[in-house]
């Protein structure tokens, strides 16, 4: 019911107490003017009707206060909802960005892992190859050592049983050993080259030993 209707009902109800009371139309949507009007009417009316007018004024003020509070709370709730929506959208954007970064990091990790696996496989293959070469070299060195020991034993036996040989013959044999060593080196025959060099070394020792004997 509007403030004008309320005033009209109250005025008609108390007509026998105050016949000269006049209904004054209130401006719409103005609780303060309505309560002021009711209080003025209450001051002009005595008894129960005056109390009812004051009670109506207090009720309108209370309702107006509640309406203002409700409207304020409504606006606060609207602002809170808007803020929550903005925060939710920002959180969603941050989550999407984080998911993208995680996927990119996973892709990079997969690439690094694959590259590391490839490098590891290449390293293992190279290590196995070097290990095989090392074993081959050790075996070859063992064979050469055996051959050298055998040649040294032969040279020592030759020195013990050798007869006097002219220096010219020894020098000719030394030249032949040098030629053989050079030929074996060109062919890559390391063992034969080593044997030729050992033979030449033995002849050098024989020549060295013969020089003091010739002088004597």
Task: Indicate the pLDDT class of residue 168, thresholds 50, 70 and 90.
Answer: confident
What's this model's pTM, rounded to 2 decimal places?
0.34
Q: Which pLDDT does position 197 carry in this prediction?
A: 82
Of 64, 83, 102, which closes a domain? Answer: 83
Q: Which pLDDT does position 188 carry in this prediction?
A: 82
- Kindly state whether residue 77 falls inside one of the protein's structural domains: yes
Q: What is the DSSP letter of 27?
A: P
Does the pLDDT value for residue 12 go beyond 70? no
The whole-chain average pLDDT of the chain stands at 77
Q: Which pLDDT does position 11 carry in this prediction?
A: 41
Distances (CA, A) of 110 to 100, 107, 115, 122, 184: 15, 5, 9, 18, 54
Question: What percentage of the chain exceeds 90 in pLDDT?
Answer: 27
Q: Among 152, 159, 161, which residue's Cα sits nearest to residue 206? A: 159
In terms of residue numbers, what domain contains 67?
A: 3-83
- Kindly state whether residue 128 falls inside one of the protein's structural domains: no
- Kindly state whether residue 50 falls inside one of the protein's structural domains: yes
- Kindly state whether residue 119 falls inside one of the protein's structural domains: no
Of 37, 56, 83, which closes a domain? Answer: 83
Query: Distance between CA atoms of 3 and 61, rounded to whole angstroms?
Result: 12
Please answer whether residues 146 and 165 qualify as being in contact, where contact means their C-beta atoms are separated by less than 8 angstroms: no
CA 92 vs. chain centroid, Å, equals 22
Instruction: Please count the structural domains in the chain.
Output: 2
Of 83, 112, 145, which closes a domain? Answer: 83
Q: Which pLDDT does position 135 carry in this prediction?
A: 86
Task: Indicate the pLDDT class of residue 207, thresholds 50, 70 and 90.
Answer: confident
Query: Distance between CA atoms of 191 and 101, rounded to whole angstroms?
Result: 65
Higher per-residue pLDDT: 20 or 32: 32
Does the pLDDT value for residue 2 go beyond 80? no
- Kindly state whether residue 113 falls inside one of the protein's structural domains: no
- Kindly state whether residue 76 falls inside one of the protein's structural domains: yes
Its sign, for the CA torsion 194, 200, 205, 206, is: positive
- Kindly state whether residue 19 falls inside one of the protein's structural domains: yes
- Kindly state whether residue 204 falls inside one of the protein's structural domains: yes
Site of tokens 């390391």: 190
């Amino acid at each position: 019911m509007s403030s004008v209707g309320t005033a009209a009902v109250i005025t008609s109800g108390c007509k026998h107490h105050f016949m000269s009371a006049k209904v004054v139309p209130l401006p719409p949507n103005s609780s303060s003017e309505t309560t002021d009007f009711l209080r003025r009417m209450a001051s002009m009316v005595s008894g129960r009707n005056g109390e009812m007018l004051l009670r109506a004024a207090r009720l309108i003020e209370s309702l107006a206060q509640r309406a203002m509070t409700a409207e304020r709370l409504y606006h606060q709730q609207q602002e809170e909802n808007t803020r929550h929506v903005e925060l939710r959208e920002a959180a969603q954007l941050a989550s999407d960005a984080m998911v993208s970064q995680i996927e990119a990091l996973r892709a990079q990790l997969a690439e690094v892992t694959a590259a590391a696996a490839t490098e590891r496989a290449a390293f293992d293959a190279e290590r196995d190859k070097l290990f095989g070469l090392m074993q081959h070299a050790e075996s070859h060195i063992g064979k050469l050592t055996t051959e050298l020991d055998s040649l040294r034993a032969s040279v020592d036996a030759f020195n013990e049983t050798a007869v006097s040989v002219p220096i010219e013959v020894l020098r000719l044999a030394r030249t032949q050993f040098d030629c053989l060593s050079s030929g074996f080196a060109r062919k890559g025959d390391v063992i034969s080259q080593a044997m030729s060099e050992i033979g030449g070394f033995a002849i050098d020792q024989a020549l060295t030993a013969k020089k003091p004997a010739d002088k004597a």
